[in-house]
């Protein structure tokens, strides 16, 4: 079992947990991910490693509550444990001194972007970071990102924090003003990565995206995570990624594959809520009965 040692509510739906997983922590590097399973009936969920501490034997995961499994995770408290945590999976980010880089993070994607940003800064890069979310309450780790960025731009869709803009707006402005951008990293919702890639393509700047697709084993066995390239090829996110050249990803097919189980996801969430609700009612009835003893 993999115990939860810390839990922090980062925003309305985004939570951070420090989990005891010494085997993973010992090997983890920026850019890699883990697969976690809540309990014996749980599905296998890929989550990027947001931070790790080999000495303490811990990894940090950050997740957004979107479906049944992440909603259930959100209810876990310090002292609870995950049934399974396996990793580290995928290739680590290639950290070098590229010169000037732009780091673009959207929503929960800011979490995996952080260790890469830190590593790139420590490798000597000039780092410009752009982070964004729908609104102020969904933003987190602004200070952490600032600590490893030479410049930090914050945007929200509704203007409740920083600039009222999508992350692609300041990105395009910088690309038009400066000719020295060596590389761009983008991690966030698939649709954000799609538009960041579209924004950088005319400038010919290598753009690295980190994909989080549906997968089961994470070792190349199921092939469910396969990503299609615009040049016709295909690779597995789990063993060939999770980072890919954003200009070569067939984004429309990727978005469609991501939404394949949407209907089942709704059903699972509803089933869980109903069940949790019945449990609450049962507990309440029991309490009342006891009170009336």
Chain residues that interact with another protein, rule: CB under 8 A? 23-24, 27, 37-38, 41-44, 68-69, 83-89, 216-224, 226-228, 234, 239, 252-253, 255-257, 259-261, 264-265, 267-268, 271-272
Phi and psi at 224, nearest 5°, equal: -65, -20
DSSP code for 67? S
Shortest distance, CB of residue 263 to another protein, whole angstroms?
9
Distance CA 134, CA 97 (A): 32
Distance CA 211, CA 205 (A): 19
Cβ nearer to another protein, comparing 87 with 170: 87
Run of H or E including 64: strand 58-64
Shortest distance, CB of residue 68 to another protein, whole angstroms?
6
Cβ nearer to another protein, comparing 47 with 227: 227
Cβ nearer to another protein, comparing 203 with 229: 229
Shortest distance, CB of residue 119 to another protein, whole angstroms?
20
CA angle 203, 208, 212 (to 5 degrees): 140
Tokens of 101: 């880089």
Shortest distance, CB of residue 86 to another protein, whole angstroms?
4
Cβ nearer to another protein, comparing 30 with 127: 30
Cβ nearer to another protein, comparing 9 with 221: 221
10, 16 contact by CB (below 8 A): yes
Distance CA 210, CA 208 (A): 7
Handedness of CA 206, 207, 210, 211 (dihedral sign): negative
Shortest distance, CB of residue 259 to another protein, whole angstroms?
8
Tokens of 254: 């990727």
């Amino acid at each position: 079992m993999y115990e939860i040692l810390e839990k922090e509510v980062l925003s309305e739906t985004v939570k951070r947990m420090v989990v005891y997983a010494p085997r993973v922590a010992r090997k983890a590097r920026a850019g890699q991910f883990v697969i976690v399973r809540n309990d014996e009936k749980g599905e296998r969920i890929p989550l990027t490693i947001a931070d790790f501490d080999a000495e303490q034997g811990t990894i940090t995961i950050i997740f957004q509550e979107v479906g049944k499994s992440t909603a259930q995770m959100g209810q876990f408290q310090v002292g609870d444990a995950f049934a399974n945590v396996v990793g580290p999976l995928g290739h680590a980010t290639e950290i070098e001194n590229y010169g000037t880089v732009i780091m673009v993070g959207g929503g929960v994607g800011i979490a995996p972007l952080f260790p890469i940003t830190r590593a790139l800064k420590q490798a000597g890069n000039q780092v410009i970071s752009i982070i964004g979310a729908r609104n102020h309450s969904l933003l987190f780790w602004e200070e952490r990102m600032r600590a490893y960025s030479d410049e930090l731009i914050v945007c929200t869709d509704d203007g409740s924090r920083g600039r009222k803009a999508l992350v692609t707006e300041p990105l395009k402005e910088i690309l038009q003003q400066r000719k020295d951008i060596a590389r761009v990293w983008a991690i966030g919702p698939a649709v954000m990565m799609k538009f960041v890639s579209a924004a950088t393509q005319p400038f010919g700047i290598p753009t690295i995206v980190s994909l989080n697709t549906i997968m089961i084993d994470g070792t190349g066995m199921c092939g469910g995570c396969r990503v299609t390239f615009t040049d016709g090829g295909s690779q597995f996110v789990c063993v060939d990624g999770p980072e890919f050249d954003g200009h070569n990803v067939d984004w429309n097919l990727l978005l469609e594959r991501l939404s394949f189980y949407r209907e089942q996801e709704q059903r699972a969430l509803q089933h869980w809520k109903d069940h949790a609700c019945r449990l609450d009612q049962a507990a309440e009835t029991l309490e009342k009965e006891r009170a009336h003893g």
